[in-house]
Amino acid sequence: MTGLALPPEATGLITIDLDALQDNWRTLAKLVAPSECAGVVKADAYGLGASEIIPALNLAGCRTFFIATPEEGRAARQLAPDARLFALDGLLGGSASLLRAANVTPVLSSLPEIEEWVAEASQAGRPAPAALQIDSGLNRLGLSEADIKALVARPDLLAALDIRLIMSHLACADDPADPHNDAQRAEFDRRRALLPPAPASLAASDGLMLGKPFHYDLVRPGYALYGGQAFGGGATPVNPVVTLQARVLQVRTLSAGDSVGYSATWQASRPTRLAVVAAGYADGLARALSAASGEPGGSVLVAGQLAPIVGRVSMDLITIDITDVAGNVTRGDLVTLIGPGLSIETLGRAAGTIGYEVLTRLGPRFVRSYTGGGA
């Protein structure tokens, strides 16, 4: 839906500011120029809705997108007919024909995968377009040094490949002082020098903040486009994109000694006003945001003031202590879980996780509403 109205049947609202998204992409593109700035839109654009995010980024000037799975690639192709699409998970179990049909370039990470792709894509009668992932120390996906040497020893295979990108991924880019960053960059340079020359890419959101030597030909931010601030080296030049609000279903008054929620983990130490809000762990609010008496948990903004979650987070509901909130809070009001003054990172920390996980877990019961996003 477009606009800000909450449908009467909705529990809550995720508002996605597509203008801010586009500004973030332009800001990063300017920062890394003349390197290219791609957009990472895997996992339904980090849970925000690829069907809106991809066209908005495309309109802002983004021409290269990374998705994870073949199915995400097929969907992205409908949304961006002329864009370059790379599938980070590669072929999965036999999806080569699907990838070829959708004109999605797989990121290949092993020799058997390269062989499988060449067998499929060479049916077109020309070298198979591919990205190669080489491991530089993360030990997740990627060709090892032995794999690279084995590939180089197969001129038939190399000749059948049209290598569009050689990429690797950093383990510790959120910490600019971490020696892994330079070590991985050196390893990336050494290993890709064994291969035929091709455009290179190493940095995601945090890596691109490490400076020019990490930009290569293309950078691959995802989280930063959505306003995420995971970089530990200071604030980055992106702005928030996401607001999350949920409905107050009931306000109740407790006496000192009353307990709240499952297992009665929180007891009121004074007469207490409690707001019951329609968002729970089924909506992606981690149960770790719960607060027993005397323990910290998550917080939400009620009428612009921070108020603590008390008691257990349940499947559909949270309970908020609003005793100290100035002003009237009534049934139907919206409280803010992510928004000005309450970042995705804050919510993630309170839940014992990271903002990435918060975003990608926000559930389907929240209505997603989009503003802006034009050319």
Ligand X SMILES: *Cc1c(COP(=O)(O)O)cnc(C)c1O
Residue 88 or 310 with smaller CB distance to ligand X: 88
Contact assessment for residue 166 and residue 130, using Cβ atoms and an 8 Å cutoff: no
Q: What's the min distance (Å) between Cβ of 205 and ligand X?
A: 3
Known catalytic residue: 42?
A: yes
Q: How does 4-33 read in b/e, with b if 16+ C-beta sit within 10 Å?
A: eebeeebbbbbbbbbbbbbbbbebbbebbe
Residue 186, C-beta contacts closer than 8 angstroms, at least 6 positions apart: none
Active-site entry in 42, 223, 281, 370: 42
CA–CA dist 206, 230 (Å, integer):
7
Per-residue binder mask for ligand X (CB under 6 A), 103-142, x = binder? ----------------------------------------
Per-residue binder mask for ligand X (CB under 6 A), 61-90, x = binder? ---------------------------x--
Q: Does 222 bind ligand X (CB under 6 A)?
A: yes
- DSSP reduced 3-state for 3: coil
Residue 35 or 205 with smaller CB distance to ligand X: 205
Q: What's the min distance (Å) between Cβ of 170 and ligand X?
A: 9
Q: Report the residue from 205, 299, 319, 343 that binds ligand X according to the rule CB under 6 A.
A: 205
Residue 48 or 88 with smaller CB distance to ligand X: 88
Contact range with ligand X by CB under 6 A, out of 120-128, 215-223, 268-276, 359-367: 215-223
Residue 246 or 362 with smaller CB distance to ligand X: 362
| Other Cβ atoms within 10 Å of 196 Cβ, number | 11
Q: Does 344 bind ligand X (CB under 6 A)?
A: no
Torsion of CA 203, 209, 212, 217, to 10 degrees: 30
Q: What's the min distance (Å) between Cβ of 222 and ligand X?
A: 3
Q: What's the min distance (Å) between Cβ of 289 and ligand X?
A: 23
Locate 241 and state its tokens: 């994109």
Per-residue binder mask for ligand X (CB under 6 A), 235-254, x = binder? --------------------
Contact range with ligand X by CB under 6 A, out of 1-9, 144-152, 221-229, 318-326: 221-229
| Other Cβ atoms within 10 Å of 194 Cβ, number | 13
Nearest to 192 by CA among 181, 182, 204, 184: 184
Known catalytic residue: 370?
A: no
| Other Cβ atoms within 10 Å of 186 Cβ, number | 12
CA–CA dist 64, 107 (Å, integer):
13
Q: Report the residue from 39, 137, 221, 298 that binds ligand X according to the rule CB under 6 A.
A: 221
Q: Report the residue from 223, 231, 281, 366 that binds ligand X according to the rule CB under 6 A.
A: 223
Active-site entry in 30, 149, 212, 262: 262
What letter does residue 69 receive in the DSSP assignment? Answer: S
Residue 226 or 366 with smaller CB distance to ligand X: 226
CA–CA dist 26, 252 (Å, integer):
47
Residue 43 or 313 with smaller CB distance to ligand X: 43
- Cα 354 to the center of its chain, rounded Å: 10
Q: Report the residue from 220, 329, 337, 347 that binds ligand X according to the rule CB under 6 A.
A: 220
Contact range with ligand X by CB under 6 A, out of 115-123, 145-153, 222-230, 361-369: 222-230
DSSP class per residue in 305-366: EEEEB-B---SS-EEEE-TT--S---TT-EEEEEBTTB-HHHHHHHTTS-HHHHHHH--TTE
Q: What's the min distance (Å) between Cβ of 69 and ligand X?
A: 12
The neighbouring-strand residues paired with 105 are 86
Q: Report the residue from 16, 60, 163, 204 that binds ligand X according to the rule CB under 6 A.
A: 204
Contact assessment for residue 244 and residue 13, using Cβ atoms and an 8 Å cutoff: yes
Q: Does 40 bind ligand X (CB under 6 A)?
A: yes
The residues of the shown chain that bind ligand X, judged by CB under 6 A, are 40, 42, 88, 169, 204-205, 220-224
Catalytic residues: 42, 262
